[in-house]
Structure 1
Amino acid sequence: IWSVVLAGTVNVFYFVIMRNYFQSLPESLMESARLDGAGEWRILFEIILPLSKPIIATLTLFYLVDRWNEWYNALIFIRNTDLQPLQLVLRSIVMESSIVNNVTSAAAMEQMQNFNMGVKMAAVIVTILPVMCVYPFLQKHFAQGVMVGAVKA
Protein backbone atom coordinates (compact mmCIF):
# COMPACT_ATOMS: atom_id res chain seq x y z
CA ILE A 1 0.00 0.00 0.00
CA TRP A 2 2.92 2.37 0.69
CA SER A 3 4.08 2.03 -2.91
CA VAL A 4 0.84 3.63 -4.05
CA VAL A 5 0.84 6.30 -1.34
CA LEU A 6 4.46 7.37 -1.81
CA ALA A 7 4.29 7.28 -5.63
CA GLY A 8 1.95 10.26 -5.62
CA THR A 9 3.34 12.40 -2.84
CA VAL A 10 5.36 14.79 -5.00
CA ASN A 11 4.12 16.38 -8.19
CA VAL A 12 6.58 18.72 -9.89
CA PHE A 13 3.85 20.46 -11.86
CA TYR A 14 2.18 21.57 -8.62
CA PHE A 15 5.53 22.83 -7.30
CA VAL A 16 5.99 24.95 -10.43
CA ILE A 17 2.53 26.47 -10.05
CA MET A 18 3.11 27.23 -6.37
CA ARG A 19 6.57 28.68 -7.08
CA ASN A 20 5.12 31.02 -9.71
CA TYR A 21 2.47 32.14 -7.25
CA PHE A 22 5.03 32.84 -4.52
CA GLN A 23 7.19 34.78 -6.95
CA SER A 24 4.20 36.93 -7.87
CA LEU A 25 3.84 38.11 -4.25
CA PRO A 26 5.39 41.55 -3.78
CA GLU A 27 8.80 41.48 -2.11
CA SER A 28 7.95 44.75 -0.36
CA LEU A 29 5.58 42.88 1.96
CA MET A 30 8.39 40.68 3.24
CA GLU A 31 10.81 43.60 3.47
CA SER A 32 8.40 45.71 5.51
CA ALA A 33 7.77 42.76 7.85
CA ARG A 34 11.53 42.33 8.33
CA LEU A 35 11.87 46.06 9.11
CA ASP A 36 9.15 45.64 11.75
CA GLY A 37 11.19 42.85 13.35
CA ALA A 38 9.37 39.78 12.05
CA GLY A 39 11.39 36.61 11.59
CA GLU A 40 11.19 34.27 8.62
CA TRP A 41 8.71 31.92 10.29
CA ARG A 42 6.40 34.77 11.29
CA ILE A 43 6.53 36.16 7.75
CA LEU A 44 5.62 32.73 6.42
CA PHE A 45 2.70 32.08 8.76
CA GLU A 46 1.28 35.60 9.08
CA ILE A 47 1.89 37.11 5.64
CA ILE A 48 2.65 34.56 2.94
CA LEU A 49 0.25 31.74 3.89
CA PRO A 50 -2.82 33.98 4.39
CA LEU A 51 -2.15 35.53 0.98
CA SER A 52 -1.69 32.04 -0.51
CA LYS A 53 -5.15 30.68 0.28
CA PRO A 54 -6.23 30.70 -3.40
CA ILE A 55 -3.26 28.65 -4.60
CA ILE A 56 -3.43 26.30 -1.62
CA ALA A 57 -7.14 25.68 -2.28
CA THR A 58 -6.48 25.18 -5.98
CA LEU A 59 -3.66 22.72 -5.47
CA THR A 60 -5.64 20.90 -2.79
CA LEU A 61 -8.44 20.39 -5.30
CA PHE A 62 -5.98 19.33 -8.02
CA TYR A 63 -4.28 16.89 -5.67
CA LEU A 64 -7.59 15.52 -4.39
CA VAL A 65 -8.84 14.82 -7.90
CA ASP A 66 -5.47 13.43 -8.94
CA ARG A 67 -5.26 10.99 -6.01
CA TRP A 68 -8.96 10.10 -6.18
CA ASN A 69 -8.73 9.12 -9.85
CA GLU A 70 -5.46 7.20 -9.42
CA TRP A 71 -5.84 3.55 -10.31
CA TYR A 72 -2.82 2.71 -12.41
CA ASN A 73 -0.23 2.54 -9.61
CA ALA A 74 -2.57 0.34 -7.59
CA LEU A 75 -3.00 -1.92 -10.60
CA ILE A 76 0.76 -2.32 -10.87
CA PHE A 77 1.76 -2.57 -7.19
CA ILE A 78 -1.15 -4.08 -5.25
CA ARG A 79 -1.92 -7.77 -5.68
CA ASN A 80 -4.08 -8.23 -2.58
CA THR A 81 -7.72 -7.58 -3.57
CA ASP A 82 -8.55 -6.44 -0.03
CA LEU A 83 -6.17 -3.46 -0.40
CA GLN A 84 -7.32 -2.28 -3.83
CA PRO A 85 -8.67 1.29 -3.93
CA LEU A 86 -12.21 2.07 -5.04
CA GLN A 87 -11.15 3.28 -8.48
CA LEU A 88 -9.47 -0.03 -9.29
CA VAL A 89 -12.51 -1.98 -8.08
CA LEU A 90 -14.80 0.19 -10.22
CA ARG A 91 -12.49 -0.31 -13.19
CA SER A 92 -12.63 -4.09 -12.80
CA ILE A 93 -16.45 -3.99 -12.51
CA VAL A 94 -16.72 -1.95 -15.70
CA MET A 95 -14.25 -4.22 -17.50
CA GLU A 96 -16.13 -7.35 -16.41
CA SER A 97 -19.48 -5.90 -17.43
CA SER A 98 -18.11 -5.06 -20.87
CA ILE A 99 -17.39 -8.69 -21.63
CA VAL A 100 -20.30 -9.77 -23.77
CA ASN A 101 -21.35 -13.39 -23.49
CA ASN A 102 -22.45 -15.41 -26.48
CA VAL A 103 -26.02 -14.22 -26.82
CA THR A 104 -28.15 -15.56 -29.61
CA SER A 105 -30.99 -13.05 -29.86
CA ALA A 106 -30.72 -9.41 -30.84
CA ALA A 107 -33.06 -8.34 -28.02
CA ALA A 108 -30.87 -10.03 -25.39
CA MET A 109 -27.79 -8.42 -26.96
CA GLU A 110 -29.42 -4.97 -26.74
CA GLN A 111 -30.41 -5.56 -23.10
CA MET A 112 -26.83 -6.59 -22.31
CA GLN A 113 -25.46 -3.44 -23.95
CA ASN A 114 -27.94 -1.27 -21.99
CA PHE A 115 -26.88 -2.99 -18.77
CA ASN A 116 -23.21 -2.43 -19.60
CA MET A 117 -23.87 1.26 -20.24
CA GLY A 118 -25.77 1.52 -16.94
CA VAL A 119 -22.85 -0.01 -15.06
CA LYS A 120 -20.45 2.44 -16.68
CA MET A 121 -22.65 5.43 -15.81
CA ALA A 122 -23.04 4.23 -12.21
CA ALA A 123 -19.25 3.99 -11.96
CA VAL A 124 -18.95 7.54 -13.29
CA ILE A 125 -21.39 8.82 -10.66
CA VAL A 126 -19.55 7.02 -7.85
CA THR A 127 -16.27 8.39 -9.15
CA ILE A 128 -17.33 12.02 -9.48
CA LEU A 129 -19.59 12.37 -6.41
CA PRO A 130 -16.88 12.99 -3.75
CA VAL A 131 -15.15 15.60 -5.90
CA MET A 132 -18.47 17.35 -6.48
CA CYS A 133 -19.05 17.42 -2.71
CA VAL A 134 -15.68 19.07 -2.00
CA TYR A 135 -15.59 21.50 -4.94
CA PRO A 136 -18.16 24.04 -3.62
CA PHE A 137 -16.04 24.67 -0.54
CA LEU A 138 -12.93 25.41 -2.63
CA GLN A 139 -14.67 27.04 -5.60
CA LYS A 140 -14.32 30.66 -4.46
CA HIS A 141 -10.53 30.28 -4.33
CA PHE A 142 -10.23 27.98 -7.34
CA ALA A 143 -10.56 30.44 -10.25
CA GLN A 144 -8.31 33.04 -8.65
CA GLY A 145 -5.67 30.44 -7.74
CA VAL A 146 -5.53 28.92 -11.20
CA MET A 147 -5.01 32.26 -12.91
CA VAL A 148 -2.53 33.75 -10.45
CA GLY A 149 -0.46 30.60 -9.97
CA ALA A 150 -0.17 29.80 -13.66
CA VAL A 151 0.55 33.24 -15.10
CA LYS A 152 3.40 35.41 -13.84
CA ALA A 153 2.20 38.97 -13.41
Structure 2
Amino acid sequence: MIKESFSDRLLIAAFYIAIGLFSVYCLMPFWSVVASSFASEASIVRSGYTFWPTDFSLEAYKLIFADNTIYRAYGVTTFITLAGTAMSMILTSALAYALSVKSMKYRNHIAFYVYFTVLFHGGLVASYLLISKYLDMKDTIWVLIIPSMLSAWNMFLLRNFFASIDDSIAESAKMDGANDAYILFRIILPISLPAIATIGLFYALGYWNKWFDAVLYINDKDLYPLQYLIQRIMTNMDFIIQISSDVNIPNFIRPTMTVRLATTVVTIGPIVFLYPFLQKYFMKGLMVGAIKG
Protein backbone atom coordinates (compact mmCIF):
# COMPACT_ATOMS: atom_id res chain seq x y z
CA MET A 1 0.00 0.00 0.00
CA ILE A 2 1.43 3.36 -1.06
CA LYS A 3 1.78 5.79 1.81
CA GLU A 4 0.63 9.29 1.09
CA SER A 5 3.10 12.07 1.67
CA PHE A 6 2.33 15.17 3.69
CA SER A 7 2.02 17.27 0.53
CA ASP A 8 -0.46 14.78 -0.94
CA ARG A 9 -2.62 14.87 2.20
CA LEU A 10 -2.42 18.65 2.22
CA LEU A 11 -3.53 18.82 -1.41
CA ILE A 12 -6.43 16.41 -0.79
CA ALA A 13 -7.51 18.46 2.23
CA ALA A 14 -7.41 21.62 0.13
CA PHE A 15 -9.62 19.94 -2.49
CA TYR A 16 -12.13 18.87 0.16
CA ILE A 17 -12.22 22.36 1.63
CA ALA A 18 -12.71 23.93 -1.81
CA ILE A 19 -15.51 21.50 -2.70
CA GLY A 20 -17.13 22.03 0.69
CA LEU A 21 -17.06 25.82 0.33
CA PHE A 22 -18.45 25.59 -3.19
CA SER A 23 -21.25 23.29 -1.96
CA VAL A 24 -22.16 25.75 0.78
CA TYR A 25 -22.12 28.57 -1.77
CA CYS A 26 -24.55 26.62 -3.99
CA LEU A 27 -26.76 25.74 -1.01
CA MET A 28 -27.07 29.29 0.30
CA PRO A 29 -29.69 30.55 -2.25
CA PHE A 30 -31.83 27.46 -1.72
CA TRP A 31 -31.67 27.79 2.05
CA SER A 32 -32.53 31.48 1.78
CA VAL A 33 -35.66 30.63 -0.22
CA VAL A 34 -36.74 28.00 2.32
CA ALA A 35 -36.11 30.25 5.33
CA SER A 36 -37.76 33.28 3.78
CA SER A 37 -40.85 31.27 2.89
CA PHE A 38 -41.49 30.88 6.63
CA ALA A 39 -41.17 34.62 7.29
CA SER A 40 -43.98 37.14 7.37
CA GLU A 41 -44.59 39.43 4.43
CA ALA A 42 -43.81 42.47 6.56
CA SER A 43 -40.37 41.15 7.55
CA ILE A 44 -39.52 40.40 3.93
CA VAL A 45 -40.48 43.93 2.90
CA ARG A 46 -38.58 45.39 5.83
CA SER A 47 -35.40 43.26 5.92
CA GLY A 48 -35.34 41.42 2.59
CA TYR A 49 -34.45 37.77 2.20
CA THR A 50 -32.56 36.25 5.13
CA PHE A 51 -31.05 32.93 6.14
CA TRP A 52 -33.32 32.70 9.17
CA PRO A 53 -36.88 34.01 9.49
CA THR A 54 -36.90 36.92 11.92
CA ASP A 55 -40.72 36.88 12.11
CA PHE A 56 -41.86 33.27 11.75
CA SER A 57 -45.14 32.89 9.86
CA LEU A 58 -47.04 30.14 8.05
CA GLU A 59 -49.42 32.48 6.23
CA ALA A 60 -48.03 31.64 2.80
CA TYR A 61 -48.40 27.89 3.33
CA LYS A 62 -51.89 28.34 4.79
CA LEU A 63 -52.92 30.09 1.60
CA ILE A 64 -51.40 27.45 -0.66
CA PHE A 65 -53.03 24.59 1.25
CA ALA A 66 -56.28 26.46 1.85
CA ASP A 67 -58.41 23.82 0.14
CA ASN A 68 -57.93 20.54 -1.69
CA THR A 69 -56.89 22.16 -4.98
CA ILE A 70 -53.19 21.74 -4.24
CA TYR A 71 -53.74 18.17 -3.06
CA ARG A 72 -55.48 17.23 -6.31
CA ALA A 73 -52.65 18.82 -8.24
CA TYR A 74 -50.15 16.80 -6.22
CA GLY A 75 -52.10 13.64 -6.99
CA VAL A 76 -52.19 14.40 -10.72
CA THR A 77 -48.48 15.21 -10.86
CA THR A 78 -47.55 12.16 -8.80
CA PHE A 79 -49.58 9.90 -11.09
CA ILE A 80 -48.20 11.28 -14.34
CA THR A 81 -44.66 11.16 -12.92
CA LEU A 82 -44.86 7.54 -11.75
CA ALA A 83 -46.96 6.18 -14.61
CA GLY A 84 -45.26 8.30 -17.26
CA THR A 85 -41.75 7.40 -16.12
CA ALA A 86 -42.58 3.68 -16.00
CA MET A 87 -44.20 3.70 -19.45
CA SER A 88 -41.43 5.85 -20.94
CA MET A 89 -38.71 3.58 -19.56
CA ILE A 90 -40.38 0.46 -20.95
CA LEU A 91 -40.79 2.02 -24.41
CA THR A 92 -37.34 3.62 -24.42
CA SER A 93 -35.59 0.47 -23.19
CA ALA A 94 -37.35 -1.72 -25.75
CA LEU A 95 -36.49 0.56 -28.68
CA ALA A 96 -32.95 1.20 -27.46
CA TYR A 97 -32.26 -2.52 -27.06
CA ALA A 98 -33.69 -3.31 -30.49
CA LEU A 99 -31.50 -0.69 -32.14
CA SER A 100 -28.43 -1.91 -30.24
CA VAL A 101 -28.73 -5.46 -31.61
CA LYS A 102 -26.43 -5.62 -34.62
CA SER A 103 -28.34 -8.45 -36.28
CA MET A 104 -31.61 -6.50 -36.45
CA LYS A 105 -32.70 -5.62 -39.98
CA TYR A 106 -33.13 -1.97 -40.95
CA ARG A 107 -31.96 -0.81 -37.54
CA ASN A 108 -30.02 2.05 -39.11
CA HIS A 109 -33.08 3.17 -41.04
CA ILE A 110 -35.20 3.12 -37.89
CA ALA A 111 -32.49 4.99 -35.98
CA PHE A 112 -32.42 7.66 -38.68
CA TYR A 113 -36.20 7.98 -38.53
CA VAL A 114 -36.00 8.58 -34.77
CA TYR A 115 -33.10 10.98 -35.20
CA PHE A 116 -35.06 12.88 -37.86
CA THR A 117 -37.60 13.86 -35.21
CA VAL A 118 -34.82 15.59 -33.28
CA LEU A 119 -33.93 17.79 -36.25
CA PHE A 120 -37.41 18.53 -37.56
CA HIS A 121 -40.74 18.97 -35.82
CA GLY A 122 -44.24 19.58 -37.11
CA GLY A 123 -44.66 22.60 -34.86
CA LEU A 124 -47.13 23.60 -32.19
CA VAL A 125 -50.14 23.92 -34.50
CA ALA A 126 -49.68 20.46 -36.00
CA SER A 127 -49.14 18.92 -32.56
CA TYR A 128 -52.22 20.63 -31.17
CA LEU A 129 -54.43 19.46 -34.03
CA LEU A 130 -53.10 15.91 -33.80
CA ILE A 131 -53.53 15.58 -30.04
CA SER A 132 -56.77 17.51 -29.50
CA LYS A 133 -58.70 16.74 -32.69
CA TYR A 134 -57.52 13.49 -34.23
CA LEU A 135 -56.43 11.64 -31.08
CA ASP A 136 -59.13 13.32 -28.96
CA MET A 137 -57.03 13.38 -25.79
CA LYS A 138 -57.95 16.88 -24.67
CA ASP A 139 -59.01 17.14 -21.02
CA THR A 140 -57.70 13.67 -20.20
CA ILE A 141 -54.81 12.84 -17.92
CA TRP A 142 -53.20 10.79 -20.71
CA VAL A 143 -52.52 13.93 -22.72
CA LEU A 144 -49.88 14.71 -20.09
CA ILE A 145 -48.21 11.32 -20.56
CA ILE A 146 -48.57 9.78 -24.02
CA PRO A 147 -47.17 12.64 -26.18
CA SER A 148 -44.02 12.67 -24.03
CA MET A 149 -43.52 8.94 -23.65
CA LEU A 150 -40.46 8.71 -25.87
CA SER A 151 -37.51 11.09 -25.96
CA ALA A 152 -35.21 10.47 -28.90
CA TRP A 153 -32.26 11.91 -27.01
CA ASN A 154 -32.79 9.60 -24.02
CA MET A 155 -33.29 6.65 -26.34
CA PHE A 156 -29.95 7.23 -28.07
CA LEU A 157 -28.20 7.61 -24.72
CA LEU A 158 -29.60 4.29 -23.59
CA ARG A 159 -28.88 2.62 -26.92
CA ASN A 160 -25.23 3.64 -26.71
CA PHE A 161 -25.03 2.18 -23.22
CA PHE A 162 -26.62 -1.09 -24.36
CA ALA A 163 -24.21 -1.20 -27.32
CA SER A 164 -21.26 -1.05 -24.90
CA ILE A 165 -22.36 -4.31 -23.24
CA ASP A 166 -20.44 -7.31 -24.50
CA ASP A 167 -22.41 -9.25 -27.13
CA SER A 168 -21.31 -12.57 -25.62
CA ILE A 169 -23.71 -12.05 -22.70
CA ALA A 170 -26.78 -12.02 -24.95
CA GLU A 171 -25.35 -14.71 -27.21
CA SER A 172 -24.82 -17.04 -24.25
CA ALA A 173 -28.39 -16.48 -23.13
CA LYS A 174 -29.73 -17.17 -26.64
CA MET A 175 -27.79 -20.42 -26.75
CA ASP A 176 -29.64 -21.43 -23.58
CA GLY A 177 -32.99 -20.71 -25.25
CA ALA A 178 -33.70 -17.19 -23.98
CA ASN A 179 -35.67 -14.83 -26.21
CA ASP A 180 -35.05 -11.11 -26.65
CA ALA A 181 -37.67 -10.07 -24.08
CA TYR A 182 -36.07 -12.32 -21.44
CA ILE A 183 -32.59 -11.01 -22.29
CA LEU A 184 -33.73 -7.40 -22.05
CA PHE A 185 -35.65 -7.58 -18.77
CA ARG A 186 -33.65 -10.24 -16.95
CA ILE A 187 -30.09 -9.63 -18.16
CA ILE A 188 -29.54 -6.28 -19.90
CA LEU A 189 -31.60 -4.03 -17.62
CA PRO A 190 -30.23 -5.41 -14.30
CA ILE A 191 -26.64 -4.73 -15.37
CA SER A 192 -27.62 -1.31 -16.77
CA LEU A 193 -28.95 0.18 -13.53
CA PRO A 194 -26.73 3.31 -13.70
CA ALA A 195 -28.07 4.17 -17.17
CA ILE A 196 -31.64 3.21 -16.22
CA ALA A 197 -31.50 5.39 -13.09
CA THR A 198 -30.10 8.34 -15.04
CA ILE A 199 -32.61 8.16 -17.91
CA GLY A 200 -35.44 7.48 -15.48
CA LEU A 201 -34.49 10.57 -13.51
CA PHE A 202 -34.55 12.63 -16.72
CA TYR A 203 -38.05 11.39 -17.49
CA ALA A 204 -39.26 11.87 -13.91
CA LEU A 205 -38.03 15.47 -13.85
CA GLY A 206 -39.70 16.13 -17.19
CA TYR A 207 -43.06 14.77 -16.02
CA TRP A 208 -42.83 16.47 -12.63
CA ASN A 209 -42.14 19.87 -14.22
CA LYS A 210 -44.79 19.52 -16.92
CA TRP A 211 -47.06 22.53 -17.19
CA PHE A 212 -47.16 23.82 -20.77
CA ASP A 213 -49.16 20.83 -22.01
CA ALA A 214 -51.77 21.64 -19.37
CA VAL A 215 -52.02 25.17 -20.75
CA LEU A 216 -52.86 23.78 -24.18
CA TYR A 217 -54.99 20.75 -23.45
CA ILE A 218 -56.39 20.88 -19.90
CA ASN A 219 -59.48 22.90 -18.98
CA ASP A 220 -60.71 20.66 -16.16
CA LYS A 221 -59.46 22.04 -12.83
CA ASP A 222 -59.37 18.53 -11.39
CA LEU A 223 -56.66 17.63 -13.91
CA TYR A 224 -54.35 20.58 -13.25
CA PRO A 225 -50.81 19.31 -12.61
CA LEU A 226 -48.85 20.85 -9.77
CA GLN A 227 -46.55 22.96 -11.90
CA TYR A 228 -49.42 24.52 -13.83
CA LEU A 229 -51.25 25.31 -10.62
CA ILE A 230 -48.08 26.83 -9.15
CA GLN A 231 -47.58 28.86 -12.33
CA ARG A 232 -51.08 30.27 -11.97
CA ILE A 233 -50.47 31.09 -8.33
CA MET A 234 -47.23 32.89 -9.06
CA THR A 235 -48.57 34.92 -11.98
CA ASN A 236 -52.02 35.66 -10.69
CA MET A 237 -52.32 36.32 -6.99
CA ASP A 238 -56.08 36.80 -7.35
CA PHE A 239 -56.34 33.06 -7.99
CA ILE A 240 -54.87 32.14 -4.61
CA ILE A 241 -57.05 34.71 -2.87
CA GLN A 242 -60.07 33.09 -4.55
CA ILE A 243 -59.25 29.57 -3.34
CA SER A 244 -58.43 30.85 0.15
CA SER A 245 -61.52 33.00 0.62
CA ASP A 246 -62.81 30.74 3.39
CA VAL A 247 -59.62 30.97 5.45
CA ASN A 248 -59.92 33.17 8.54
CA ILE A 249 -56.48 34.52 9.50
CA PRO A 250 -56.37 37.36 12.05
CA ASN A 251 -54.60 40.53 10.91
CA PHE A 252 -54.16 38.99 7.48
CA ILE A 253 -51.87 40.74 5.02
CA ARG A 254 -51.73 39.28 1.52
CA PRO A 255 -48.31 37.59 1.31
CA THR A 256 -47.32 38.02 -2.31
CA MET A 257 -43.56 37.47 -2.06
CA THR A 258 -43.68 34.76 0.59
CA VAL A 259 -46.27 32.85 -1.43
CA ARG A 260 -43.91 32.78 -4.38
CA LEU A 261 -41.15 31.45 -2.14
CA ALA A 262 -43.44 28.89 -0.55
CA THR A 263 -44.62 27.65 -3.94
CA THR A 264 -40.99 27.09 -4.90
CA VAL A 265 -40.47 24.95 -1.81
CA VAL A 266 -43.70 23.04 -2.39
CA THR A 267 -42.75 22.38 -6.01
CA ILE A 268 -39.19 21.15 -5.62
CA GLY A 269 -39.52 19.46 -2.24
CA PRO A 270 -40.72 15.96 -3.21
CA ILE A 271 -38.52 15.57 -6.27
CA VAL A 272 -35.42 16.50 -4.25
CA PHE A 273 -35.97 13.47 -2.02
CA LEU A 274 -35.79 11.24 -5.11
CA TYR A 275 -32.06 11.81 -5.52
CA PRO A 276 -30.85 9.91 -2.41
CA PHE A 277 -32.71 6.79 -3.52
CA LEU A 278 -31.10 6.89 -6.98
CA GLN A 279 -27.64 7.92 -5.84
CA LYS A 280 -26.51 4.37 -5.08
CA TYR A 281 -27.02 3.42 -8.72
CA PHE A 282 -24.66 6.09 -10.00
CA MET A 283 -21.57 3.95 -9.85
CA LYS A 284 -19.29 2.10 -12.23
CA GLY A 285 -18.09 -1.45 -12.41
CA LEU A 286 -21.41 -3.30 -12.28
CA MET A 287 -20.33 -5.40 -15.27
CA VAL A 288 -17.11 -6.58 -13.66
CA GLY A 289 -17.28 -10.34 -13.62
CA ALA A 290 -20.29 -10.52 -15.94
CA ILE A 291 -18.18 -12.43 -18.49
CA LYS A 292 -16.25 -15.37 -17.21
CA GLY A 293 -12.95 -16.12 -18.83
TM-score range, shorter chain: 0.7 to 0.9
Residues 75-130 of structure 1: per-residue CA shift (max 9 Å, x gap): 111112222111111111111139xxxxxxxxxxxx97xx4331221111111111
Question: Who is 2:45 aligned against?
Answer: none
For 1:40-59, list aligned pairs within 5 A. 40-59=180-199
CA distance in 2, matches of 1:142, 1:121: 31
Output the CA distance in 2 between the equivalents of 1:92 and 1:77.
15
Give the match's secondary structure for 1:141: coil
1:80 corresponds in structure 2 to 220
Q: Give 3-state SS (helix, strand or coil) of 2:280's partner.
A: helix
Matched, 1:137 2:273: no
Tell me the distance in 2 between the aligned counterparts of 1:39 and 1:53. 21
- Pairwise CA RMSD of aligned residues? 2.2
Tell me which residue corresponds to 1:104.
Answer: none
Distance 1:46 1:80, change over 3 A: closer
TM-score (norm 1): 0.74
Pick the aligned partner of 2:170 from 30, 49, 52: 30
- Alpha-carbon separation, structure 2, partners of 1:37 and 1:6: 34
Equivalent position amino acid for 2:183 in 1: I
- Report how far residue 143 of structure 1 moved: 6.0
State the 1:61 CA deviation.
1.3
Greater per-residue helix proportion: 1
Check 1:13–1:28 CA distance in 2 against 1; reply closer, same or farther (3 A cut): same
Give 2:259's match in structure 1, choosing from 110, 119, 141.
119
Question: Cα 1:79–1:40, aligned 2, differ >3 Å: closer, same or farther?
Answer: closer
Structure 2 CA distance for aligned equivalents of residues 39 and 78 of structure 1: 42
Identity of aligned residues (%): 40
Tell me the SS of whatever aligns to 1:53: helix
Structure 1 38/82 Cα, relative in aligned 2: closer, same or farther at 3 Å?
closer
Residues 37 and 76 of structure 1: CA distance in aligned 2, closer, same or farther (over 3 Å): closer
Specify the alignment match of 1:12 in structure 2: 152
Q: Which has the higher contact order (CA 8 A, sep 6+)?
A: 1
- Distance in structure 2 (CA, Å) of the matches to 1:38 and 1:4: 36
- Runs of 4+, deviation exceeding 6 Å: none
Larger Rg: 2
- Quote the Cα distance in structure 2 between the aligned partners of 1:37 and 1:81: 52
Per-residue deviation, 1:68: 0.5
Q: Which runs of 5+ in 1 are unaligned?
A: 99-110, 145-153
1:47-77 C-alpha deviation (Å, 9 max, x unpaired)? 2121111111112211111100000000111
Q: Distance in 1 between matches of 2:146 and 2:185?
A: 27
SS at match of 1:10: coil
Residue ranges of structure 2 left out of the alignment (5+ in a row): 1-139, 239-252, 285-293
